[in-house]
Structure 1
Amino acid sequence: MLRSILLAVALMLGAAPALAQDEEDARVEWNRPAPPFTVVGNVHFVGVAGLGAWLITTPEGHILIDGGLPESAPRIIQSIRELGFEPTDVRILLNTHAHVDHAGGLAELQAVTGARIIASEGDRGALESGRHHGLTNYGTWWFPPVHVDQVIADGETIELGGVRLTAIITPGHTAGCTNWSLPVRDHDRDLNVLFFCSASIGGNRLVGNTEYPGIVDDYRRTFQRLGGIKTDVVLANHPEVADLFERRERQIKGDANAFVDSAALGEIVEAYREAFEAELQRQRAGDRR
């Protein structure tokens, strides 16, 4: 069931991004408030209904992954406070990838928190220009630019207050698409959490992308690499990709393993791989006409 749902989502995102169809309606829908909650250990959801944002708390300050849309920033700040934490204690801002719906709020979040922004080289230019890299079927979505304080490479780590995050860079969705891997202690057990960047087509032009000519090869390398990663908990920047709210309902009902699913990443990656190959064929056929 999960795989069929994911494949439908992947195809939808690849063929006709929601914001391209009706940007204002989609932004309102994505930005609806959602209650914050603790997922596992020191990992907390502080995003909005359609966009994930993740707070990782430590005794020496906190780490925030993703900023949603520009209009999401106030809700993220409010959610941090609702969980009993201070936004000014956020020391590091991370980004999974430089699209408006995940990087748009970073500028305001940095202004409020004073945190340092750490990102990949592949996405630094997009973050600092406020424009995503690569040609898409929906044009250009501008967002408030931010200065990247530190560039991180694939396999490098970030440490704060006993927490260590490892960057896993998987280009394709964007040139610097970055997953973050985190070991977490939860209920006397050790879990690995993966903050999943994306591998959806997301409106990318796969054929004739003069701004990103290696996009097809990057996607294929990414599918191969992600398919070999083992993780216990997958958290995505679009909640529906990993069934976030359905799992939250199970958690509320007492299921301590609601978010633990070692098969989830493989199912997500395979769904996106199939959608990619279908969309690549469609675009190549269209290019030949």
Structure 2
Amino acid sequence: MKLRTIGALTAAMIAAGAPAQEREDPLTRPIVGQRTAEWLAPRTPARLFGNTYLVGFGGLSVALIDTGEGLILIDGALPQAAPSILANVRKLGFDPRRIRYILSTEPHFDHAGGLAALARDTGATVVASARGAEGLRSGRLAADDPQRSLDHRFPPVARVRAVGDREVLRLGNTNVTAHATPGHTMGSMSWSWRSCEARRCRNIVFASSLNPVSGDGYRFTAPSSQGIVAAFGRTHAKVKALRCDILITAHPDPADAGGYTDRLGACRAYAEKSQRALAARLAEERAAGRR
């Protein structure tokens, strides 16, 4: 997928001496691709369950948790989406300045592109895995990322707090657990927490992408890729075992009109779908190698 960054307008306005407030914000400069309109299709912000809300888009999930002592945001979508995310937070009656943490699922432009602007505008701390933090600070894909050849750059995040697998982030009445889910990127992280309404509680999982996609020329069957294939296997087992009453995926399944899955076995089905896709990709590469 070819992408382009719209920067000509900024240069022209600066050259013309345009007022600062009229200049394009470099942290929200649009990244435009074939699926941008689909990913950023408007979705009305709404309560999902208990203290958990959805403030994202038709093709990119962004979640909000009200802990009683501050807000937690999960993922930041594309750079140009940051103002809409903050507007959706306000529509729900919350002050974006109460966002204390922004959790990242992966260092890719479509989920992390808006993090730098969101962190700047809220003062929140961005949290990611150690490998994810490296990618966020650089604003580009890691050398071992299957999509590295596409080199989708995004605004780097200056300050990122790294957390480990199974580490718990505590704020107010909510404990969010980090789950390392490498494969799609080696820095991918999923997040889970418990949300309650009166006496009824649900385990919610915001899962990173598990899609085994790559840039042209990348081979999952190559010797250098075996660490990633093994990581996918560990991730599939982990996601299947998660306590998961409600599943939010980084890219919502179009079959789930609400942008989430609320059914028994949702996490297991999500992992099995990835398993099938990876198996098909490996078989395709092996068949091509025999021709």
Q: TM bucket by the smaller chain? A: 0.7 to 0.9
Match runs of 1:21-36 below 5 Å: 24-36=33-45
Gaps of at least 5 residues in structure 2 are 5-31
User: Residue type of the partner of 1:66?
Assistant: D
Maintained 8 Å contact 1:234/1:242: no
User: Residue type of the partner of 2:267?
Assistant: L
SS in 1 for 2:105: coil
CA offset digits 1:158-181 (Å, max 9, x no partner): 011121000010110111211111
SS in 2 for 1:147: coil
CA distance in 2, matches of 1:246, 1:169: 23
Select 1:232's aligned residue among 230, 245, 250.
Answer: 245
Query: How many pairs were matched up?
Result: 259
- Residue 221 of structure 2 corresponds to which residue in structure 1? 207
Match runs of 1:97-246 below 5 Å: 97-133=106-142, 134-136=145-147, 139-203=150-214, 205=218, 206-208=220-222, 210=224, 214-240=227-253, 243-245=256-258
CA distance in 1, matches of 2:165, 2:189: 8
Q: Percent identity?
A: 36
Instruction: Report the CA distance between 1:60 and its aligned residue.
Output: 1.3
Q: Quick check: 1:39 aligned with 2:48? A: yes
CA offset digits 1:183-218 (Å, max 9, x no partner): 1112421211011112111326423385x6511111
CA offset digits 1:80-104 (Å, max 9, x no partner): 0110111111010110111111000
- Residue 49 of structure 1 corresponds to which residue in structure 2? 58
Higher helix residue share = 1
Per the alignment, do residues 160 and 141 of structure 1 end up closer, same or farther by CA in structure 2, a change over 3 Å counting? same
User: Residue type of the partner of 2:63?
Assistant: W
SS in 2 for 1:52: coil
Select 1:273's aligned residue among 261, 264, 275.
Answer: 275
Gaps of at least 5 residues in structure 1 are 1-18, 248-258
Maintained 8 Å contact 2:146/2:185: no
Maintained 8 Å contact 2:205/2:247: yes
CA distance in 1, matches of 2:128, 2:3: 30
SS in 2 for 1:102: helix
Instruction: Report the CA distance between 1:148 and its aligned residue.
Output: 3.9
User: Residue type of the partner of 1:182?
Assistant: W
- Residue 262 of structure 1 corresponds to which residue in structure 2? 264
CA distance in 2, matches of 1:209, 1:93: 36
CA offset digits 1:51-105 (Å, max 9, x no partner): 0000101221100000001111111011001101111110101101111110000
SS in 1 for 2:258: helix
Maintained 8 Å contact 1:120/1:151: yes
CA distance in 1, matches of 2:240, 2:40: 31
SS in 1 for 2:275: helix
The structure with the largest alpha-carbon Rg is 2
CA distance in 1, matches of 2:152, 2:273: 26
TM-score between both structures, scaled by the size of structure 1:
0.83
CA offset digits 1:250-282 (Å, max 9, x no partner): xxxxxxxxx531211111111110111110121
SS in 2 for 1:144: coil
Instruction: Report the CA distance between 1:286 and its aligned residue.
Output: 3.2
Maintained 8 Å contact 1:173/1:198: yes
Higher-RCO chain (CA-CA 8 Å, sequence separation at least 6):
1
